[in-house]
Structure formats: C-alpha cells, structure tokens
Structure 1
C-alpha cells in the first residue's frame, strides 16, 4: 500500500504544478495564445496595421552629352558673327535735261514701273534751254511719212518723226540747238532748199531737269529705253 500512496501523492503534486504553471502563479512565461498576447500589450485598442509608404520613384534624369570642343567653338563663332552683307551694286547717275512737264511725268512714271532702287531729283527752269527746228504735227502717221518723203526729195535727210503722244505727235523734227543763232542758221538753210513749213520753237520755258540714280546695270537699260522714247531730250552723265 505504501508505494501506491506515494504514486498518488506524486500525481497530485504534478497536477498542482501544471495548474500553477498554466495560471502563471509561479511567474512563468506568458501564454502564446493570441488573446493573451493582445491583453498583455499596452493600449491594444490603438494598434493599427500600417503599410510602409514609399515615395514615388523619380524619372531617370536625361543627361545631355557635352558638345565636342571643336563643335562648341564653331557654334559660338556662328552665333557671334553677323550675317554677311549683300554686295552692293555699283551706282550710276543719268541726267535728262530739257524735258517738258509731260515728258517729265512720263519719265517719272516709266522709272517707277522699272522697279525699286532708283532715286529721282527734279529741277525746274523758266529760261529757254534749247531751240527746236521742226515741222508741226501732220495729224497722222501717214501725213508725217508723206512730209518726210517730201523733205528727203529736197535733200533733207537729218530728220525723224515724233511718236510720243501729245501736241507734237507726228511732228517732223529737224534739229535741236542750244542757242538761237544755230537754230536760225538751219532754218535759213532749209528755206534755201525750198522747205517753207519749218519753224523754230523754244524749249525750256517750264522745262524740267531730272537726275536719276540707281544700280549701274539697271539704270543703263532704263536710260537707253527712255532716250529712244524721249527724242530731242539731252541725256548727260553725272556723279552718283
């Protein structure tokens, strides 16, 4: 009986020891159950599960390749140097003297139509600048041609028919002189040949002198054309 009694007593003590350990009466480690774990924490009601906030990834920086030294120097020179100025064409000057007001207007209009780049300077004079020996307008081209043929039969070959519109259109020009003496001498010679309709008209009362300046090549072409159209007008060179 003694061994059985000892066994029962040992079992009782073992159960009591187990109960004390389970209750924590002996100061042992806390239970690993989830309810006990939460109850042992300080202020469990303030616990929050947070995910770690990470800043958004910055885009990769674009690195520009540094320019080659020679290219950089060439670029700086190109930016520093001003554009080359256009080559300026040589300038020229032509004077048209002894123009009537109508001729001056025609010349101005034709030069304006020729293009830009021309500069005009106009001077008016009240004194006669020339004396014109001519046969007055014949009214038509046929009449002027008939008169010219008649003059040639009389031995007068230095003549031309005025073509420009105006009061002197289809007149027959026989000569333009700087002084009255020379014009009178020609008129006397024509009378000796039998020319009775020739007369002298002064030019320059209200005449116009126009200087035209501009690019040499263009001005030469325009001046040549104007000289053909404005017969009897003096054309002179001047300093540009």
Structure 2
C-alpha cells in the first residue's frame, strides 16, 4: 500500500511544478494605451480636477412670475375707496389705494407751443422774439417739451389754431398739442391673495355692486 501512497504524492508534485511553469510562460503583455479621438471627452479624477470641478451656480428661472395682488374697483370717489380699505384693515389684511388716470379720448385743452430748442440760449432768443411781438410766452423747463416755449393753453380749438397761424407769420415754428380729458379712478389693492376667497371678497365688497375684483401685478412688488 505504501507504493500507492508515494505514487500519488509524486504525481501531485509533478502537476504542481507543471502548473507554475505554465503561469510563468503566460505572463500578460503590457497594456497598450487606448487612443481617444479629440472629439471624445475623457474622464478625470476628482483629485485631478482641482478648482475646475465646482458645482454650477443655479440658473435663474427666466419666466419667474411677478407677485400678484387683488384689486377692487374702480371707484370714482376716493372716499368710497377708503371705506373699502377700512373693511380690508378690519380683517387684518393689508391694502392701499392706487390712483389711475384714464384718457377719455375727448379733447379738453389745446397747448400752443414752440418745439424744444437745441439749447437754453436758443430758447431764450425765441422767447425774446415772441415777447417783442407781444405774444405772452414762457420757457418750458420740464418734461418732453423742455427748452421749448409755451404760448398758452386754450379750451377753444379755433383760438389755439388762430394763434399758431399768427406766430408762424414771423417764421417761428409753432405746434398745437391736444390735451385729452382724463378720468380719475381709484382702486384698492390687497396683497393677501391666498386669503381672499370668493366669500371673503364679498364680505369686503359689502354693498358696492358697481365694482369688480381682478388679479394684477402688485404695484409695490420688489
């Protein structure tokens, strides 16, 4: 039986020697670098990136909605608007009165004037020329017509255009600006939109049947 044991041991040693010899012969060849086209992005370790790997700043949403408020109106009388504002305050809400002037399209006055001059000195020369010709006038110092010369406001259309024609005879340019009538409206603005359900709005409106509610951009939105 001993010879069988020694034969098995010798066979295992022979197989082990053969295995190690093949492992040495089959050593892997060195890896070749993989060429990557310039158009292909490569990976970079976080430790290699340094400061270049920073979180991107959050982008602002381009279409952010403006803050909205409820407005109630219009009122022709400011006192009526103040009564509604008092009811708003009584409910611990915050409001304010906004005044809006609406042009009616109907002329109310006619402003006869010399268009703005290039300089104040030129405006003064025009003024002196007009006063020498006995036309009441003064220099306009503010607004779009600054450095022009005013010849007066007229309610009568014929009077305004008659003066224009008379001044033009002295080779002085004159224009007539039509000033339309405007109607003043008062609106009450309330900022607590989420609290103004239909029942709350009816409570604030009380007996004011001629007004309505609308959602608009807050006048004091920051």
Same fold (TM over 0.5): no
More helix by share: 1
More strand by share: 2
TM-score (norm 1): 0.33
Which protein is bigger by CA-based radius of gyration? 1
TM-score (norm 2): 0.35
